[in-house]
Amino acid sequence: MATGAAAMAAPSVFLLAVSGEIESGQFPGFDDLYCKFCFVYGQDWVPTAGLEEGISQITSKSDVSPTTLVWNFPIDITFKSTNPFGWPQIVLSVYGPDFFGHDVVRGYGAVHVPFTPGRHRRTIAMFVPESTSRLQQFTSWLTGRRPEFTDPKVVAQGEGREVTRVRSQGFVTISFNVMTKDLKKLGYDVTPSDLQSPSLGPGAQGLHKY
């Protein structure tokens, strides 16, 4: 009877709570930018609170920070899952005006939510898709329509990325506050590690079952 009660009391899911902010960006040569974010996660994950996506205010460089665009835009979300495979990633898309006043993408980037509880800071290298020919480059400049992804979530997925021509452009800094609940009770040890565990999905570094 006691064994059955203990089995009933054992958790079947674990929780991951993420808060923090998209702090700032550095995009030399560009100003008046805003940032969109969304979370991408595996099929076993379910958001239980907070926002999966959002859009920041437009920010400009100042005399105080002539090379940095400061957003300090909050993120706050809680997930539950039965399986760490598909650990959440945050995908960022930064936009701003071009010479003609059209809003165009200035950078895409993605990073996994850190696996270890505590406060973390990440700087993400951003990139933009490029036209594959000089004619397309000229046409996109003339019309103000630069290449961009139909769905920014593709940034967090590997399929088809190898055929996309891109170039680096800018950096975004994010701070995370991470809390987990019942992860260890389900047999997963969250410890800093330089080894990647392929059984937990792409980028599941530092999370292993014992």
Q: What is the pLDDT of residues 53-88, one digit of tens each?
A: 999 999 999 888 888 999 999 999 999 999 899 999
Tokens 């594959």 locate to 132
Q: What is the pTM of this model?
A: 0.79
Q: Which residues contact 4 (CB under 8 A, 6 or more apart)?
A: none
By CB atoms closer than 10 A (0-12, 13-18, 19+), residue 174 is buried
Q: What is the pLDDT of residues 18-60, one digit of tens each?
A: 999 999 999 998 999 999 999 999 999 999 999 999 999 999 9
Between CA 149 and CA 154, with CA 152 as vertex, the angle to 5 degrees is 85
- The β-bridge partners of 17 are 78, 179
Domain boundaries, the chain: 14-190
Phi-psi region of 144 (alpha: psi -120 to 50; beta: other; left: phi over 0): left
Q: Report the CATH number of the 14-190 domain.
A: 2.60.40.150
